[in-house]
Amino acid sequence: MADLESKVDLTRKLQTVEHDRIELVQQAVEVLRSIQSGNEAELTDALAGVVGLGYLLAVQMGIHPHRIDNVIAGGYRVAAEVDASRKPELLEVAKYLSERL
């Protein structure tokens, strides 16, 4: 009986992750639409949806949001050294995330 419950739990988890993955793609489409329309409020909502779903997927996979922030901050600091054109933006995000850690 425990084996069946385990399989049911796994199936539910996979269905939930699949649903959230589809939602993430839809949110990415909304980001592109809002960029095209120039509507800052819609862009903010769409970006928040992408970020939030990223955190949600991480938690569903057993990854704490703190780890996500840490990886992004470190990666952006490294990227800032190679990408001079986006250095200020990359460092701003890295600093913001580091202050939250």
Q: In this structure, what token pair is assigned to residue 10?
A: 């796994």
pLDDT in tens, 42-92: 999 999 999 999 999 999 889 999 999 999 999 999 999 999 999 999 999
CA pair distance 88, 101, nearest whole angstrom:
20
Strands (E), the chain: none
- Displacement of CA 95 from its chain's centroid (Å): 18
pLDDT in tens, 16-35: 989 998 999 999 999 999 99
pLDDT band, very low/low/confident/very high, at 7 (cuts 50, 70, 90): confident
pLDDT above 90 for 1: no
pTM (two decimals): 0.82
Is the distance from CB of 17 to CB of 59 less than 8 angstroms?
no
